[in-house]
Amino acid sequence: MPLNEPAAPRARRRRRAEIAARIPRGYSPALHLAAPTALGVVVLAAVVRLLDAVEPVELLAVPATLLLALAFEWWAHRSVLHRRAPLLGALCERHEREHHLAFTADDMALRSARELWLVLTPPCSALLVLAMLLPIAAAAGLLLSRDAALLGLATAVGFFVSYEWLHLAYHLPPDSPVYRVPGLARLREHHRRHHDPRLMKRWNFNVTVPVFDLVRGTLWSPRPRGGA
């Protein structure tokens, strides 16, 4: 480490190293990413197999579920991960004291695969999400229709997997070839701004697509030069 390195970057390096040192020794980044992805593929395959004569109106379950998922993402990020909700304080602690301290707005990229521990949701999250969704899908099946419930379940699980992969993409180096995908660099910039400590508790809470940041007035971007 250079002797003349400024104190602030040196402190950030030390803090990030301390956080990374707490990652479990036997942690497998590949398994952590593969598990929710495989679960999503299994659920999608099961839904395709179980669907039977889907009516056009039942297809509305897909955009309806997607909107609900985006709303939940916004709410959970704002009200659970950045505020100490009763019984859920550990989630806020992990998010703010690990994820946001390790990855700052000017240092977003992973330095090793092991740091996936600090980006992805906890390893058991996919199973917990599925456990919560199954009774909701069962109720939707009784109130609406079996196929609508199946489509909603597949959409919700697919959204969760997309969240994991998109969040991972935002924490790749800025010159990564993944940013050739149209729109992905812009989404990364939206999330990067959220990692500014001055902004993180008030702005840019959607991680996937900032629909509800726009709806709820929490979308922040720099004012154009010359603007009021």
What is the distance between the alpha carbons of residues 122 and 66, in angstroms, rounded to a whole number?
A: 22
Burial of residue 96 (CB within 10 Å: 0-12, 13-18, 19+) is middle
Instruction: Express each pLDDT in 4-21 by its tens digit.
Output: 445 557 788 899 999 999
Query: Averaged over 140-145, what is the pLDDT?
Result: 96
**Phi, psi (5° rounding) for residue 71?**
-65, -40
Instruction: Express each pLDDT in 79-93 by its tens digit.
Output: 999 998 887 888 999
If we measure between CA atoms, which residue out of 44, 76, 42 comes closest to residue 153?
44
Instruction: Express each pLDDT in 3-62 by its tens digit.
Output: 444 555 778 889 999 999 999 999 999 999 999 999 999 999 999 999 999 999 999 999
Instruction: Express each pLDDT in 93-134 by its tens digit.
Output: 999 999 999 999 999 999 999 999 999 999 999 999 999 999
**What pLDDT was estimated at residue 6?**
54
What is the distance between the alpha carbons of residues 133 and 138, in angstroms, rounded to a whole number?
A: 9
What type of residue sits at position 224? P
What is the distance between the alpha carbons of residues 83 and 95, in angstroms, rounded to a whole number?
A: 10
Q: What is the DSSP letter of 121?
A: P
**What pLDDT was estimated at residue 3?**
43
Query: Averaged over 187-198, what is the pLDDT?
Result: 96
Tokens at residue 127, please?
């199973």
